[in-house]
Amino acid sequence: MNAELITIGDEILIGQVVDTNSAYLATELNKLGISVIQITSVADKRESIIKAFDDAALRAELIISTGGLGPTSDDITKPALADYFGSKLVTVPAVIEQIESLLASRGVVVNERNKKQAELPDNCEILRNTAGTAQGMWFKKEGRVFISLPGVPYEMKAIFREEIEPRLRQRFTLPTIRHTTVLTHGVPESEMATVINDWENSLPGNIKLAYLPSPGLLRLRLTGKTTGDAEALTIAMDAEVVKLKSIIGKHIFGYNDDKLEVIIGKLLKENNLSLSLAESCTGGMISLLITSVPGSSAYYKGGIVAYSNDVKTTDLSVSPYTILMNGAVSQAVVEQMAEGIRNRYQSEFAIAVSGIAGPTGGTPEKPVGTTWIAVASKKRIISRVHNFGEERGRNMQKAAIAALFMLREEIMDCL
């Protein structure tokens, strides 16, 4: 089964909003064995919306649109849909009640605009929105299914999970599509392609490989498809991963949706170890990654964002003399920071980062992007210097990822 996604909204076309809804829907549909063959973003204009629906219906059996269902007057999707599917808008009392009780729980009184949200086409299945006031709609036309969803991401997701996924599973016989993603670190894309060339060329016809590089890591994604034996596909794909592992095993740090911060969290938790952080140029990014994992309070003691030299000396016990002689971005300082926070918070492991995030503050010897990272354990302190380039946001991100990889290595070394 093929699907197309349509995003409705001027805010996408002027670049003010990034379309994350399509990525979510594509991921979920793929898991169900439904291939997304095109994603289209169009303006909040009746003719654009209708043209997009018509075009998509030529290629796909399932068309899902997001956006254009808000209570304010820039939204014209609902009347356009009613016309397109030959229905008229009627007020649905059950939806009014639902909106009233939702808003009451937030202490908000229903106004006329909210009530308009209960006007819905009379020939659609209503897909109940428990998280907001704009309902989803499921239409059928000429053998195609059309679904219209609100654009607010968490409302759209709730409707997909609660209303759409069960219906798709029930109503359609779906082929099997499987993805296995191998997460690697330390080998650039073009070098990886050379190393695994023979293996790649020997893949069976129904298994495809894609390279997905991102800062600090490279994901290798295998996609297998079958209308026949799902079990056989699983076995074939697992066998390919085993072969790949024998070629690049030491560069693999995880699979599929594994996140580095989750992998590290598990390592720490399972071994009853703890972590503390002393961040300068990363400004709290490593702490945020660590705490984005539910349950991280079991192993994360806390961190200090030491943005001033005062904080480095008073709270991290860095010697003022060391700063004076070497500068704050130096091996000596970053090692003292790591040891300082480890002692202060009594953790088994500690990371410290000190760098020049930019755009100013660089010198010929220490250009913008120069970053020292240290990891301290009971056993020792290791430190490395990197240059992550000139872009502030990007080099903060690269520093955070490099620091987490260093930590992972050191934990595994200590086990």
Taking the least distance from each CB to a second copy, the nearer of 88 and 113 is 113
> Rounded CA gap, 75 and 49, in Å?
12
Taking the least distance from each CB to a second copy, the nearer of 152 and 411 is 152
What residues contact 232, with CB distance under 8 A and at least 6 apart? Answer: 226
Q: For the stretch 35-50, what's the b/e string if a residue is b when 16 or more beta carbons lie within 10 angstroms of its beta carbon? A: ebeebbbbbbeeebbe
- We find the least distance from the C-beta atom of residue 216 to a second copy, in angstroms, to be 13
Assigned token pair, 357: 């995030």
> Rounded CA gap, 137 and 117, in Å?
12
Q: Interface residues for a second copy in 37-66 (CB under 8 A)?
A: 37-44, 48, 55
Q: Which of 35, 176, 206, 322 binds a second copy (CB under 8 A)?
A: 35
Q: Which of 118, 233, 236, 304 binds a second copy (CB under 8 A)?
A: 304
Q: Interface residues for a second copy in 120-139 (CB under 8 A)?
A: none
User: Interface mask (CB under 8 A) for a second copy, residues 8-27, using x and -?
Assistant: --xxxxxxxxxxx-xxxxxx
Taking the least distance from each CB to a second copy, the nearer of 74 and 97 is 74
User: For a second copy, which stretch binds (CB under 8 A), given 32-40, 79-87, 162-170, 240-248?
Assistant: 32-40
Kindly report the backbone phi and psi dihedral angles of residue 7, in degrees, each rounded to the nearest multiple of 5, phi listed first: -105, 125
| Distances from the Cα of 184 to the Cα of 157, 188, 255, angstroms | 30, 10, 9
- We find the least distance from the C-beta atom of residue 28 to a second copy, in angstroms, to be 8
Rule CB under 8 A: is residue 195 a binding residue for a second copy? no
> Rounded CA gap, 144 and 147, in Å?
10
Assigned token pair, 340: 């300082």
Rule CB under 8 A: is residue 113 a binding residue for a second copy? yes
Taking the least distance from each CB to a second copy, the nearer of 128 and 219 is 219
Count of positions on this chain that bind a second copy (CB under 8 A): 102
Q: Which of 60, 237, 244, 286 binds a second copy (CB under 8 A)?
A: 286
Q: Interface residues for a second copy in 211-250 (CB under 8 A)?
A: 211-213, 219, 221, 223
User: For a second copy, which stretch binds (CB under 8 A), given 233-241, 243-251, 375-383, 385-393?
Assistant: 385-393
Q: Is 392 exposed, middle or buried (0-12, 13-18, 19+ CB in 10 A)?
A: middle
User: For a second copy, which stretch binds (CB under 8 A), given 77-85, 225-233, 278-286, 375-383?
Assistant: 278-286
Q: Which of 170, 173, 194, 202 binds a second copy (CB under 8 A)?
A: 194
Q: Which of 79, 283, 327, 367 binds a second copy (CB under 8 A)?
A: 283
Q: Which of 303, 340, 355, 369 binds a second copy (CB under 8 A)?
A: 303
User: Interface mask (CB under 8 A) for a second copy, residues 330-359, using x and -?
Assistant: --------------xx-----------xxx
Taking the least distance from each CB to a second copy, the nearer of 123 and 225 is 225
